[in-house]
A = this chain, B = another copy of it.
Amino acid sequence: MIGRNRYKNRIELLQGTLDMLILKTLQWGPQHGYGIVQALHATSGEVLQVETGSLYPALHRLERQAWVRSEWKQTESNQRAKYYRITAAGKKQLASDLSRWQHMVEVIGAVMHRVPDGEEA
């Protein structure tokens, strides 16, 4: 939900970062899908707004990879919800995703901060 404007006038998430963001959110404790969206929204300063059509497929993807586990429970407001918990494999994946992300930011930064010939640094 940030990034390029591909669909009319919507800002969207950089592809490939959603799984990492979800795993990171779950590192703060077990959470259900709706709660993950709210947490990401809050932690990002109201910038990230993940759509349900992105979220649930992502959660199912993560569960298929055994990076998260889920369990149906009642919420505080007495509604059923599927709580997700990060697994040991998920923590490893998160660490790997993060290091890859940081490397990428560094590499892209190296390219983007080069100045054209004849200009000041």
Contacts and interface: CB of A to CB of B under 8 A. Distances in A.
Instruction: State the number of copies, please.
Output: 2
Interface size class of A (residues with CB under 8 A): 35 or more
Contacts of A24: 111-112, 114
Interface in A55-90: none
A107 B16 contact: no
Interface of A: 2-4, 14-17, 20-21, 24-25, 27-29, 40, 43-45, 47-48, 97-98, 100-101, 103-105, 107-108, 110-112, 114, 116-117
A47 B100 CA distance: 12
Contact of A16 (B15, B103, B111): B15
B112 A101 contact: yes
